[in-house]
Amino acid sequence: MVTSSAPGKVYLFGEHAVVYGEPAVPCAIERRAHVTVEQRESGMSVHADDLTLDGFTVEYDAETGGRPDVEVADSLVEAGVGYVNEAIEQARDAADAGDVGFDITVESSIPLGAGLGSSAAVVVATIDAATRELGVELAPVDIAQRAYEVEYAVQDGEASRADTFCSAMGGAVRVEGDDCRTIAAPDLPFVIGYDGGAGDTGALVAGVRKLREDYGFAADTVEAIGDIVRQGETALAEGDLAELGRLMNFNHGLLEALGVSSRSLDAMVWAARDADALGAKLTGAGGGGCIVALDRTPETKTALEFTPGCEEAFRAELDTEGVRQESR
């Protein structure tokens, strides 16, 4: 029996645009998914706890194909099951293990579909734990590649490498197409607000794609996000948090123009800015879920706690470590 963990992430810049070959800079955060894998003769069962900040339990047996009776959108549960199944297939392939069975337990404090990379963290940790259980140890960069293939399959070819590479490697990373690398970053004082909801990543990505096809200025907006990322890289290298915050504000405005924000996300962004955060923006696909702000003081977290529609506010420092084995 092996337990591995992998971190969630926030986007400093670049979500949605990264799907179209523009650069993005996601950062791993100190909030992790833990996956325990134990080999058995055949079949597979999965027990999952705490997939939202409030927590619930999901149990299913892959052989039955049943849907768990939980208060979560069907698309999220089906995707969650798909991610685990595909991750196990990748582990079997890496170990040349055929149809060996597994008992899998997922414990995660990263909410589903909220923009913090829950699926990537679960996939990365599952591949690491399952391959180790089968006697194979993969390098983080190899886990990142296999995890990307999982997300690509489950998301019908709409995935980028950003989430999975960040979760596998940790720290701050830069992703542009197939070019993925770790980059230096100062201590980033992240404050996260969570509205208790989740966006439908597939539908939101499809919506942006249609806008780009229908309107030239929407394509220009996506390119402008890429320009923000490039400018942000310079600020990150110089440790200029004030400039990072200003660029985060610009990035949120462009994402809002692309139709992927929501009333609750905007309310949290403006509450953070009114509390003198250096910058604030949605993180991830949007439509609901989380915003990320930069603030070393307690003011932003306090403001978010009193913002209608914000169910949870918390600090999550940059996590410099990616996937790791926790126990055997």
Structure-token match 């800015």, residue found? 273
Supply the pLDDT for residue 72.
45
Examine the pLDDT at 299 and tell me if it is beyond 70: yes
pLDDT digits (tens, 9 = 90+) for 234-275: 999 999 999 999 999 999 999 999 999 999 999 999 999 999
Supply the pLDDT for residue 51.
55
Angle of helix 162-169 relative to helix 118-133, nearest 10 degrees?
Answer: 50
Examine the pLDDT at 89 and tell me if it is beyond 80: yes
CA separation for the pair 294, 278 (Å, rounded):
5
Percent with pLDDT over 90 in the chain = 71
Q: 307 and 268 in contact (C-beta within 8 Å)? A: yes
The more confidently predicted of residues 226 and 199 is 226
Q: Which of 50, 128, 163, 200 is catalytic?
A: 163
Supply the pLDDT for residue 58.
43
161: three-class secondary structure by DSSP: coil
Supply the pLDDT for residue 306.
96
As assigned by CATH, the class of the 190-315 domain is alpha beta
pLDDT digits (tens, 9 = 90+) for 268-298: 999 999 999 999 999 999 999 999 999 999 9
Q: How far is CA 30 from the centre of its chain?
A: 12
Examine the pLDDT at 190 and tell me if it is beyond 70: yes
In the predicted model, what is the mean pLDDT of residues 141-147? 96
Residue from 144, 114, 121, 142 nearest 5 by CA: 121
- How many other CB atoms are found less than 10 A from the CB of residue 98? 8
Q: 16 and 260 in contact (C-beta within 8 Å)? A: yes
CA separation for the pair 246, 178 (Å, rounded):
28
| Confidence tier at 59 by pLDDT (50, 70, 90) | very low
> What's the whole-model pTM score?
0.87
pLDDT digits (tens, 9 = 90+) for 105-140: 999 888 877 889 998 999 999 999 999 999 999 999
CA separation for the pair 183, 27 (Å, rounded):
10
Sequence spans of domains, the chain: 2-184, 190-315
Residue from 186, 190, 195 nearest 314 by CA: 190
Examine the pLDDT at 78 and tell me if it is beyond 80: no
- How many other CB atoms are found less than 10 A from the CB of residue 203? 11
Examine the pLDDT at 54 and tell me if it is beyond 70: no
CA separation for the pair 156, 42 (Å, rounded):
28
In the predicted model, what is the mean pLDDT of residues 157-171? 89
| Confidence tier at 45 by pLDDT (50, 70, 90) | confident
Average pLDDT of the chain to the nearest whole number: 89
Residues with Cβ within 8 Å of 153's Cβ and at least 6 positions away in sequence, in order, are: 82, 86
Percent with pLDDT over 70 in the chain = 90
Answer yes or no: 61 catalytic.
no
As assigned by CATH, the class of the 2-184 domain is alpha beta
- What are the distances in angstroms from CA 129 to CA 3, 55, 145? 6, 23, 16
| Confidence tier at 66 by pLDDT (50, 70, 90) | very low
The region of weakest confidence among 56-65, 142-151, 205-214 is 56-65
**According to DSSP H, which parts of the chain are helical?**
74-95, 118-133, 140-154, 162-169, 201-214, 216-238, 241-257, 263-274, 299-305
Residues with Cβ within 8 Å of 68's Cβ and at least 6 positions away in sequence, in order, are: 58, 59, 60, 77
Supply the pLDDT for residue 49.
67
